[in-house]
Amino acid sequence: MNKIEAKNVDVYYGAKQALFDINMDIEANKVTALIGPSGCGKSTFLRCLNRMNDVIDICKVSGVVKINDYDINQKDTDVVRLREKVGMIFQKPNPFPKTIYENISYGPEIHGIAQSKSEMDNIVEESLRKAALWEEVKDRIHEPGTGLSGGQQQRLCIARTISIKPEVILMDEPCSALDPIATAQIEELIDELRKEHTIIIVTHSMSQAARVSQNTGFFHLGKLIEVGSTDKIFKNPTQQQTQDYITGRFG
């Protein structure tokens, strides 16, 4: 079953067109990797899925993006509800300048999810456990989240995102600022999270895409060149450009 269906998506930054007629289906409870050289539009496409492009004044999006068969690009779409369902992890860990606990409780609080202090405590613990961070921080959850290491900060951001139980998690190069060990931890976590969430990950690293994803889409110069199962894309691509990129001939 397709969780997300994008049809004829065009994106413009001012007069410059960044995405050309993207059509892509994304399956539920799988990890879909978006790969391609820098500036190919993969992050822009990712940001179309929770309307984060709204934040950028000059950015215009057209086309249809259906999540659970509902077009999120309609005028009256409630972006607050949308983003509650579609969470996002950024390239650089961006914990809020608050304690670890407050970082996690932020989402449940603004969406009114927890009814009591103990319920909130449970959500915080559960989210941190799911993000494989609980054992490391359980003694200092009332200390600033900014005091953690880079890899821990990124897992804190993941815990923050899953605290409101989104159906989809978008990840924009979540490991590019991390060392190999932290990267391995996050990758392991991604595989775990797939059980409950649909994950779309933008990555520069082809080996990462091969390791963590079931499906892969290859973007080049604002166009979706090829999309299919990761196995097929990496072993037997149908397009010459994909073949060239995978084998490292450009990009």
Partner 1 sequence: MNSVIFLTIVLLALSSYFFGRKKAILIQSNKRLTALPKFYGYYLAIWCGAPAFLLYALWSIFEPSIVRFFILSDYSSQGLLEGELNLFYEKVKSLSRNQYSGELTAELQRSAEKYLNFRDIAKWSKVVIVLSLLIASTGYAYTKISNNTKTREPVEIFLKGVFFLSSLAAILTTIGIIFSLLFQTIEFFQVIPLFDFVFGMHWYPAKAFVRDASEALDPSMYSDTFGAVPIFAGTFFIALIAMCVAIPIGLLSGIYMAEYASKRLRQYAKPVIEILAGIPTVVYGFFAALTVGPFLKDLGLSLGLEVSAESALAAGGVMGIMIIPFISSLSDDVITSVPQNLRDGSYAMGATKSETIKRVIFPAALPGIVGSILLGVSRAIGETMIVVMASGLAANLTLNPLESTSTITAQIVVILIGDQQFGDPKTQAAFALGLSLFIVTLVLNIVALSVVKKYREKYE
User: Where do contacts with partner 1 occur on this chain (CB under 8 A)?
Assistant: 50, 52, 55, 57, 79-84, 87-88, 90, 92, 94-98, 106-107, 110-111, 144, 146, 157, 160-161, 164
* Closest distance of CB 246 from partner 1, Å: 30
**218 neighbors 224 (Cβ within 8 angstroms):** yes
CA trace torsion 119, 103, 203, 42 (10° rounding): 90
Q: What is the nearest approach in angstroms of partner 1 to the Cβ of residue 170? A: 8
Residue 113 or 184: the one with the smaller Cβ distance to partner 1 is 113
Beta bridge partners of 203: none
Interatomic CA distance for residues 171 and 4, integer angstroms: 15
Please choose, from the candidates 1, 36, 33, the residue with its C-alpha nearest in 3D space to the C-alpha of residue 19.
36
CB 16 within 8 A of CB 68: no
For the bound state, the minimum distance from the C-beta of residue 80 to partner 1, rounded and expressed in Å, comes to 5
Choice between 1 and 80, CB closer to partner 1? 80
Nearer to partner 1, 110 or 221 (CB): 110
Which DSSP letter does residue 115 get? Answer: -
Rounded to the nearest whole angstrom, what is the least distance from the CB of residue 41 to partner 1 in the complex? 18
